[in-house]
Structure 1
Amino acid sequence: MSRARSAEPEVVPVYIDTSKANIARVYDAFLNGKDNYEVDREVLRRVQQVTPEAAQLAWDNRNFLIRATRFIASQTGVTQYLDCGSGLPTAENTHQVAQRISPDSRVVYIDNDPIVIAHGRALLEENELTHFVSADIFEPEQILGNEGVRQHLDFDEPIALFQLGTLHHYAGKRDPAELMSVYIDALPSGSYVALSHFFDPENEEHSPLARRMEDAFLHSSMGTGLFRTRPQIEAMFGGLEFVEPGLTRCADWWPDGPQLKPLDPVSHCIVGGVARKP
């Protein structure tokens, strides 16, 4: 899945640290993007040694984002989005999907990677309903108290909170379910949470693959990428009411048509769900 590269040396802005892989740039490499460096592509190659179809993880996550956004925009009446860990801009971003269906939708992206912020702000210069805020998504108290977030989102009205492909890169001291509870407690009634996460199915067929991929991520220069179990991931929803079909493989969450081809093995190792706060 890796791409051919020019023999010319890469030009790296002075503020970019390329000694360690970066989550946003690694996902960009998985999606065949152009905003990544050799250290990021090495993570992709390392995981591909375990499973050549590793990039499907990123595509399943991206497609889940598109379908979840489309559902919220078309079915719930929610017009505010807090997208945590937005990543590098690509086709069909949250604001593009939501605003195509509901033009008055407001989207606030959160990320603290300098490349993401630079690209995002340039992309959104002429979009007055979409904004980027530079902050750490794993510090929910800071996010919820951020002036930019509060300026553009009304916490008296329902909000869609996205944590898509983010929490499996959290390995801090706090329990991720406790971290999510801070976000969920701040959301008003009628809000929605969409979350996707690397998954250990705990079965003989796919659990060994999940653990091998986890080992490849953790021993790469990125150093994160945990494949958690269903109870661990469900706990991150904090007792919210799941939208059918609940927490399921990302590829199975309201697909656009019948699944005619067998799923790649890696597609069994990433799950997602959307839930409502009563």
Structure 2
Amino acid sequence: MPRLDDLHAKPAYRDEVVLNTEVPQSARVWDRWLNGKDHYPIDRRAADRVATILPEIVDAARHDRAFLSRVVRYLAGEAGVRQFLDIGAGLPTVDNTHEVAQRVVPDARIVYVDEDPLVVAYARALLYSSHEGTCDTIGADARDVDTILNQAAITLDFTRPIGLLLLGILDHLVDDTEALATVERLVAALAPGSHVAIAHPTAALHGERFHQAMRLVMDMGGPPTVTRTPEQLARFLDGLELLNPGVVSCSRWRPDHSPFGTPPEVLQFCGVARKT
């Protein structure tokens, strides 16, 4: 599998990717917590310093990834969703959305969206669809709803149900009004039977240590980040049918059976709802 340095070496990418290796980038910091290899020294420093203040964030990142797998399996299987729009997808890692979905439904169609040109280039180089299905990547800011919808419509049929995934992206839309309006516009474009899944950090469990860790990353030049309460997260799903167990820790959204009982809560909370 190509590494980040390969993107420098291959001429095909030179005009597409503008890398800033002097400030941490959220997808690469996340990659560090997931034991990936696609990050730079600045990302490792940021990730490790945050983990020193808030070691629980490493488990949160991994439970968030496990939640992605479970919710996509549920949507592609029990819910009968055959199309996915994954906004704020981040760097490819193990069990990406299309891989999970196409194991259940080989002809599933997936569109990834990310504003980071590195993520887009890496995704286009590495994410291969099944023969029966389709996988595409769009470079766009999550708030640029018109661009996302227009380009996604090339691959997805918006007259049929879609699984909209907003995992780890809404916390970078720091203005509440703008964030709510962005989700509302995206949901308005979805057909009945579509589902919306969100995942978002909260300080409800760790209080000031969480805020201190996020300030550290922002002071190093990282992207603005905001925390929201579980009650605030539920507002993103207003007007939709919220599925059980509601807005909960990612670790506790329909966890796989474990002989060790209910998993502990983590700082990344989530919710899944259906458009009726």
TM range (shorter): 0.7 to 0.9
Q: Tell me the equivalent position of 2:166.
A: 163
Matches within 5 A, 1:173-188: 174-188=177-191
Question: Which consecutive segments of 4 or more residues in structure 1 shift more than 6 A?
Answer: none
1:142 aligns with 2:140: no
What are the superposed Cα offsets for residues 26-58 of structure 1, whole Å, 9 maximum, x if unpaired?
A: 111111111110111122122112123321121
Flag structure 1 segments of 5+ consecutive residues without an equivalent.
1-9
1:80 aligns with 2:83: yes
Q: Tell me the equivalent position of 1:231.
A: 231
User: Percent of counterpart pairs with the same letter?
Assistant: 36
What are the superposed Cα offsets for residues 48-102 of structure 1, whole Å, 9 maximum, x if unpaired?
A: 1212332112111101101100110111111000000111111111101100011
CA distance in 2, matches of 1:11, 1:68: 32
Task: Calculate the TM-score normalised by the size of structure 2.
Answer: 0.87
Q: Which moved more, 1:221-230 or 1:187-196?
A: 221-230
Q: Tell me the equivalent position of 1:271.
A: 269
Q: Which of the numbers 122, 125, 140 marks the counterpart of 1:122?
A: 125
Residues 45/108 of structure 1: CA separation in 2 closer, same or farther (3 Å cut):
same
RMSD: 2.2
Q: Tell me the equivalent position of 1:131.
A: 136
Equivalent residues, number: 262
CA distance in 2, matches of 1:187, 1:218: 34
Q: Tell me the equivalent position of 2:93.
A: 90
CA distance in 2, matches of 1:262, 1:110: 33
CA distance in 2, matches of 1:189, 1:142: 22
1:247 aligns with 2:247: yes
Letter in 1 for 2:145: P
Residues 32/192 of structure 1: CA separation in 2 closer, same or farther (3 Å cut):
same
Q: Does the CA contact (< 8 Å) of 1:50 and 1:216 recur in 2?
A: no
Q: 1:115: Cα distance to partner?
A: 2.0
Q: Does the CA contact (< 8 Å) of 1:46 and 1:220 recur in 2?
A: no
1:51 aligns with 2:49: no
What are the superposed Cα offsets for residues 204-235 of structure 1, whole Å, 9 maximum, x if unpaired?
A: x6333333333333333214232211222111
Residues 154/268 of structure 1: CA separation in 2 closer, same or farther (3 Å cut):
same
Q: Does the CA contact (< 8 Å) of 2:87 and 2:166 recur in 1?
A: yes
Letter in 2 for 1:271: F
Q: Does the CA contact (< 8 Å) of 1:43 and 1:220 recur in 2?
A: yes
The SS at the match of 2:165 is strand
Task: Calculate the TM-score normalised by the size of structure 1.
Answer: 0.86
